[in-house]
Amino acid sequence: MNKPVMPVSSLSLKLPAGGGLIESYRLAASRTFPARLEGTLNRVAFSAAHVVADPLADVDPWLASAIDWDRTIAFREHIWDLGLGVAEAMDTAQRGMGLDWPTSLELIQRSVRAAKARGGALVFSGAGTDHLAVEDAKSIDDVIRAYEEQIAAVEKAGGRIILMASRALAKLGRNADDYARVYNRVLSQVREPVIIHWLGDMFDPALANYWGTESLDTAMDIAVGIINANAAKVDGVKVSLLDKQREIDMRRRLDPDVKMYTGDDFNYAELIAGDDRGFSHALLGIFDAIAPAASYALSRLSAGDEAGFHDVLGPTVPLSRHIFKAPTRFYKTGIVFMAYLNGHQDHFTMVGGQESTRSTLHLAELFRLADQAGLLSNPEMATRRMKAVLALRGIEA
């Protein structure tokens, strides 16, 4: 297997450096990763994939979503080529934050068809309650019906389910019994085992006090109890709390047949590597931005080269922590900016107009960290595009 090549770069540009200063930045030596999976994987790894907006559509981005379907599906083909699965219609795709349920369902249908055309590429799709406005949710039965409607639609499309956290349930659920009632009822009806997603309020403030309590310790007890009681219907659990010890503790308490999928975009490398008592699989938003490096690193881990795994994946962690810094819900801007820098789309335009949610300084530091991790697949193009964005923001680079 070929090791990544590290040529010397002579590229440079001017970047803002804080305090109103502009500095000259010379790009570091880059790394080239395979465009397709080499070898095998011994972890199940999903990328929560973003959507590519259509910048020429005549819509008001804050009010309506317009998707470039060809580029969106092409990005999923890129993920599948690398041996990763696609977690479809998740918050990375701005689900519930600009992407409505009808458009999400069309995305799921198109993605599932594309996966089947490849002979069954791995794709699981988000089913939640986001078509039910929180203010219209009056009872636990309303939440159950909303889940049932989306699950039926995804299963009709031939898809597997990621059971997303519900804003309506966060509003109405008062205790463990309310959550058990919803999850027991919904899980009893699914055709195939699902992935349950516990999304923390740092990703979505409307999910505060999920599982009916302010205490994360109590919430963990409730979640583990419900999941283990329904283990035959649960493929795994994705935890997005950005707290590695809580994930490890939960992983050790799960039924042996239930996988832990890390959603920790701060500590994923060590959680995936694991310890003598187990490891986490992956379902990560950052794998959208670092897919080639993630694929190569995982293949090294599967080959028994843990040092090689950390050599590749370790340098990506500072970038991920920067992209997912508070307010964490704005991480999608960094994900799409990486896709723009790396040529997966020809513009830096997002659903909901969210290209505006991060500062010029944030984007400049993202560029530095991506470069230092060897994640700019075409440094010349990335540099040109960075200069173009800076020029629009008043910086002649």
pLDDT, tens only, 17-44:
988 899 999 999 778 999 999 999 999 9
Kindly indicate the confidence band of residue 370, based on its pLDDT and cuts at 50, 70 and 90. very high
The pLDDT, as a whole number, for residue 29 is 76
The whole-number pLDDT of residue 397 equals: 64
| Residues 389, 13: Cα–Cα separation, whole Å | 12
Cα(44)–Cα(40) distance, rounded to whole angstroms? Answer: 11
Listed residue (261, 256, 257) closest to 272, CA to CA = 261
pLDDT at 250 over 90: yes
- pLDDT tens for each residue of 291-341: 999 999 999 999 999 999 999 999 999 999 999 999 999 999 999 999 999
pLDDT at 266 over 60: yes
How high is the pLDDT of residue 2?
52
**pLDDT value at residue 5:** 47
Residues 277-281 have a mean pLDDT of: 97
**Which domains can be identified in the chain, with CATH numbers?**
41-355 (3.20.20.70)
Using only C-alpha atoms, what is the Rg of the chain?
21
**b/e code 340-354 from CB counts within 10 Å (16+ = b):** bbbebbebbbbbbeb
pLDDT at 6: 46
Output the pLDDT for position 373. 95
- The stretch 109-125 carries a mean pLDDT of 97
Mean pLDDT of 72-88: 98
Question: Where is 389: in which H helix or E strand?
Answer: helix 379-392
At residue 62, the pLDDT reads 87
Lowest mean pLDDT among 95-99, 210-214, 380-384: 95-99
Instruction: Report long-range pairs for 2-8 (Cβ below 8 Å, ≥24 apart).
Output: 2/34, 2/38, 4/31, 4/32, 4/33, 4/296, 4/312, 4/374, 5/31, 5/32, 6/30, 6/31, 6/374
What are phi and psi for residue 95, nearest 5 degrees? -65, 125
Distance CA 174, CA 379 (A): 52
Indicate whether 93 pLDDT > 50.
Answer: yes
Residue 1 pLDDT > 70: no
How high is the pLDDT of residue 278? 97
Both structure tokens of 148? 């049932």
* Banded model confidence at residue 396, pLDDT cuts 50, 70, 90: confident
Rounded mean pLDDT, 104-115 = 98
Report helix, strand or coil for 61. coil
